[in-house]
């Protein structure tokens, strides 16, 4: 399917070029490093009455382990928390090849920081495959620096409806 899409990437719908730099998302992803992180985050989400969770791979995973790592992690997590909508975002950094690999493997959400013509073309490919390329996030919780993952996740979901209230290890990505 990607090969057919690649032949037709000159413009977006109705011949209008997309602006990939305008994709600032409302998602508030949690960077996770393994099953214990996803389980804690999902448990905290359930406790707080949240129905959806966005997980993002750590920087570098797209290069070292590829999208399959995140897909496996999320599949195992979803089996334990079937009532939650779980969104997986592969952090591809500025690497076009990682984005293409993620899209080819069926990922529907990727984080890409590259610029220029490549970003425009990747955005068009993503649109045509039903995927979303996230350019930046207002807030991200990275569990790497959290000593109490469960407490950090509980606070994260409590603050979900209060933009900019993160006193946790949040960052703008």
Per residue in 68-110, pLDDT (tens digit) is: 999 999 999 999 999 999 999 999 999 999 999 999 999 999 9
Structure tokens at 48: 């707080």
Is 104 within a domain?
Answer: yes
CATH number at residue 62: 3.20.20.70
Residue of 17 and 70 predicted with greater confidence: 70
* Number of domains forming the structure of the chain: 1
Range of the domain at 50: 27-158
Of 31, 79, 41, 10, which is closest to residue 157 (Cα–Cα)? 41
Cα–Cα distance for residue pair 140/128, rounded to 1 Å: 27
Label residue 159 by pLDDT band (50, 70, 90): confident
Is residue 33 scored above 90 in pLDDT?
Answer: yes
Question: What's the sign of the alpha-carbon dihedral 40, 49, 106, 24?
Answer: negative
Is 58 within a domain?
Answer: yes
Q: Please give the model's pTM, rounded to 2 decimal places.
A: 0.81
């Amino acid at each position: 399917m990607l090969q057919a899409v690649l032949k037709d990437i000159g413009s977006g719908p109705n011949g209008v070029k997309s602006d990939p730099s305008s994709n600032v998302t409302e998602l508030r992803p949690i960077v996770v490093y393994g099953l214990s992180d996803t389980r804690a985050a999902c448990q905290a989400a359930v406790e707080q009455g949240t129905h959806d969770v966005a997980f993002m791979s750590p920087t570098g995973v797209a290069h070292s382990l590829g999208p399959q790592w995140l897909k496996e992690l999320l599949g195992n997590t979803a089996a334990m928390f079937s009532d939650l909508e779980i969104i997986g975002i592969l952090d591809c950094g500025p690497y076009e090849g990682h984005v293409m690999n993620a899209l080819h493997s069926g990922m529907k959400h990727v984080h890409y920081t590259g610029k220029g013509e490549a970003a425009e073309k990747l955005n068009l490919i993503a649109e045509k495959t039903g995927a979303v390329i996230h350019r930046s996030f207002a807030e991200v919780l990275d569990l790497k620096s959290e000593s109490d993952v469960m407490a950090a996740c509980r606070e994260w979901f409590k603050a979900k409806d209060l933009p900019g209230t993160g006193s946790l290890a949040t960052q703008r990505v």
